[in-house]
Amino acid sequence: MTTGSDAVLERMMTLHPKVIDLTLDRVHRLLAALGNPERHLPKVIHIAGTNGKGSTQAMIRAGLEARGQTVHAYTSPHLARFHERIRLAGELISEPALTALLDECVQANGPGDITFFEITTCAAFLAFSRMPADWLLLEVGLGGRLDATNVVTPALSIITPVSIDHQQYLGDTLPEIAGEKAGIIKRGVPVVVGPQHPDGMQVIEARADALHAPLLAHGQQWQVWEEAGRLLFQDENGLLDLPLPNLPGPHQIENAGAALAALRYFGADEAACEAAVSKAYWPARMQRLRHGPLVDEAQGVELWLDGGHNPAGGAAIAATLSRMAKRPTYLICGMLNTKDVRGYMRPLAPFTTALYAVSIPGEKNTLPAHETQAAAADAGIEAHAAGSVADALATITAHDPAARVLICGSLYLAGTILRENG
């Protein structure tokens, strides 16, 4: 069913000929027309990075809310509904509130060019400025330096691991991409830095030094590791001995470390830190699907969903699969034509029985199923093309009813699955 916000969002897609056009000029213009809501926000934690932004944000939110504090959160892209992007004091924005905000922003913008992400980010700032909260967790959309979110002076910045992705916008080398991510660092504002490649870390350190921004870096000011089935975190305040993150995968240890470093910087106690790792929820990141029509169709097959889509995401999935119980593992994979598909698939090859490639429904930038199939074959994976996820799942179920099936390759595909699965 089409809603009022759906209609406005559809109109917003026509306000600029490009989906992505990185600059801050249009954002500053619209924010000024709206009365500069970005100047009237709760304390902001600004999060950039290639992978792990959403998981890190989810853990910080769980920790802050365990302290009894109210938290706004902004993230992108959404999975099933746009409303997921704007969380107000713990609740997703309502349909009437979203429709009214979007209409207000369209009217304030007038005939001027503005991208979809820019105008919806301005709408989010307007929402956040009008409802009291203790914190705003603000996730960068793309890059950092010229991202539409980069118009605030936060209380803390966070840079999660940086790797190669979005080269067409951010640069071809790791130092170039790290430089774009480091663009969120503000003068005198502390910055938590997750594990980095030395080439990227050098750029981040230089930027922080130039702006006299205190560095709270993995391997320097804090450490995190797994030992005897527990998560151990060490900083200048001492040692924490916590449960492993409830978000699956060894890469979540590193994300938890950045979240804990942020929480400890603001004085969180051990109970809040434990809540951060044990109560966070973040869908489509090695999410086990247990209910819904798709699960019913799977007829006992173990069904998982992940939205990772770049080589680092593929490596994280592979590391997770390596720790899971041995079981024939099939991938149903759909990817965008802007991604390094072979780089994503190579780490997965040793853990994959076979891959069924699909085109992402309704996505104009989908990689056709036969091209995804060819890329998987090049990566050493037995690969087939399928007409849909349901077709692939039916084939796998008939062939191997004791299988593990991971639907993966894109957040857009993950969103489709979550909608179809209720």
Query: Rounded mean pLDDT of the chain?
Result: 94
State the Cα–Cα distance between residues 265 and 156, nearest whole angstrom: 9
pLDDT of residue 120: 96
Q: How confident is the model at residue 162 (pLDDT cuts 50, 70, 90)?
A: very high
What average pLDDT does the segment 67-90 reach? 95
What is the radius of gyration, based on Cα positions, of the chain?
21
Q: Cβ-count burial of 372 within 10 angstroms (0-12 exposed, 13-18 middle, 19+ buried)?
A: buried
Kindly state the tokens that stand for 419: 């909608």
Residue 12's H or E segment, with its range, is: helix 4-12
pLDDT higher for 17 or 34? 34
Q: 224-268, pLDDT tens digit by residue?
A: 999 999 999 999 999 999 999 999 999 999 999 999 999 999 999
Handedness of CA 409, 412, 413, 414 (dihedral sign): positive
What average pLDDT does the segment 9-24 reach? 83
Pairing of strands 329-333, 302-305: unpaired
Whether residue 384 has pLDDT greater than 60 = yes
pLDDT of residue 404: 97
Contact 113, 101 (CB under 8 A): no
Going by CATH, does the domain composed of 287-420 fall within 3.90.190.20? yes
Q: How confident is the model at residue 339 (pLDDT cuts 50, 70, 90)?
A: confident
* CATH of region 4-278: 3.40.1190.10
pLDDT of residue 360: 96
Beta-bridged to residue 240, according to DSSP, are: 233
pLDDT of residue 2: 62
Residue with tokens 């979203």: 98
pLDDT of residue 188: 98
Q: How confident is the model at residue 171 (pLDDT cuts 50, 70, 90)?
A: confident
Contact 124, 38 (CB under 8 A): no
Residues above pLDDT 70, as percent of the chain: 98
Domain locations in the chain? 4-278, 287-420
State the Cα–Cα distance between residues 233 and 239, nearest whole angstrom: 6
Closest by CA position to 105, among listed 97, 379, 346: 97
pLDDT of residue 169: 63
